Amino acid sequence: MTSGDCIIGGLAKKTMSAVNKWLKRLLLLLVIALAALSAAFYVFYFRRTSLGPAAPHALVAPSIASLPGLSACWIETGKTFSNFSFGSTAGSILVRHPAGDLLIDTGNSSHFDDEIRGYPFLICSKLRFLAGQLKPDVPLSELLRRVKEDPAKLRWVILSHAHLDHSGGLMDLPRLPVLLSQEELQFANDPSVQAKGYVIGTYLPAFPAPGAPTLRFEPQPYETFDESADLYKDGSVVVVPLRGHTPGSVGIFVNLSPNRRLFYVGDAVDDERGFEERVGKSLILRDSDNDEALANQIVARLSELHEKLPDLRIIPAHGRSAYQKFFPGGPLSCVSAQ
Ligand SMILES: [Zn+2]
């Protein structure tokens, strides 16, 4: 071996040990970043607070018939983490009824990015990071046509509440009668709510005028709720108030048959864990609750209902696994009484 070989060998050794050192540091940084990300994910999404039981309440069981021609279809317009049990979704449920079809919620607008552009940087980033994850690739009107539904012929659209990720799809539909209560219209027209980006001002022309609500409840108890609105007056679609997440949030029972029923609850819970384990919302979604105490009471009420009626499929607006249980055929599939 020459002295040149020795020098080259020594240099190579030094370089290798420097590379090793950097690799070790990089690995350590990656582990720390991964741990921080998991901790943040846990704190913001998975950690939930246990809630007390709902106050004792009467249960008024409705009598339900199977209506020929009634069906429900899942129209998914956006999704994230769809391969995981905590996967999130947005979109609509279409109810086909012999007396005219109903669309429940509409997901995000396909013009989402343009519509939020005018907001201050922080609000714009938050909207893009949360609701923006669920924006549609294909506009709602096109998805409806794929299940042979003419959007112009819908009888009504009912919104679980006015937030942008439930009302935005109205921008992709022809002008239709939209069912909203007085409380929700007042909330939607509140400039401070619009300033936070929860309701987008440019969607308001699609809503009824603030003084002309299109949804009113009767003092008619239904299941564990004191008031209700029977939309078709035949017990097939019954709306109940779920005030808390927003002042006029509603839940919608769709009764295909006595043992095939869904209860769409909007954002009253973020996923099935809410009512199965009677736990509050994740930190990330609690932020958009208008009245946290009322919102928690609704979660306890839904948990009680789930205990009493385990076969009733409670579907949170963003809880993808709950849709999959009611619609085993997946998005763009329909379910009828049989
Ligand atoms: Zn939502």
Question: Which three-class secondary structure string do you get for 130-194?
Answer: CHHHHCCCCCHHHHHHHCCCCHHHCCEEECCCCCHHHHHHHHHCCCCCEECCHHHHHHHCCHHHH
What residues pack around ion ligand 1 (CB closer than 5 A)?
165, 267
**Do 24 and 98 reside in the same domain of the chain?**
no
In a domain, 57, yes or no: no
* Number of domains within the chain: 2
Q: How far apart are the first and last CA of the chain?
A: 86
CA 292 / ligand 1 centre spacing (Å): 15
- Residue 29's domain comprises 1-47
CA of 281 to the centre of ligand 1 (A): 12
Q: Is residue 54 part of a domain?
A: no
Find the range with the poorest average confidence among 186-190, 196-200, 265-269, 279-283.
279-283
Do both 16 and 87 map to the same domain? no
Whole-number average pLDDT of the chain: 92
Identify which has the larger pLDDT, 47 or 126. 126
pTM exceeding the 0.75 threshold for the entire prediction: yes
Better-scored residue on pLDDT, 129 or 314: 314
- Residue matched to tokens 């939309």: 231
Do 167 and 291 fall into the same domain?
Answer: yes
Residues 41 and 162 grouped into a single domain? no
251 is a domain residue: yes
**Statement to judge: residues 96 and 36 lie in one domain:** no
Q: Residue 2 — pLDDT band, cuts 50, 70, 90?
A: low
Rounded to the nearest angstrom, the distance between the alpha carbon of 166 and the centre of ligand 1 is: 6
Indicate if 41 and 120 belong to the same structural domain.
Answer: no
The answer to whether residue 163 sits within a structural domain is yes
